[in-house]
Structure 1
Amino acid sequence: MKGMGNMGNMMKQMQKMQKKMMKAQDELFEMEFEASAGGGMVTVKANGKKEILDVEIKEEVVDPDDVEMLQDLILAATNDVLNQVDQKTNDTMGQFTKGLPGGGMF
Structure 2
Amino acid sequence: MAVGTKTLAPSELDTFEDQRLVEELRKAKEELFNLRFQSATGQLESHGRIRAVKRDIARLYTVIRERELGIRATPAPVEAAPKTKKKATKKADAAGDAAAKEEAE
Q: Which has the higher helix share?
A: 2
Q: Which has the higher strand share?
A: 1
Q: TM-score, normalised by structure 1?
A: 0.32
Q: TM-score, normalised by structure 2?
A: 0.32
Q: Answer 1 or 2: higher relative contact order, Cα 8 Å, separation at least 6.
A: 2
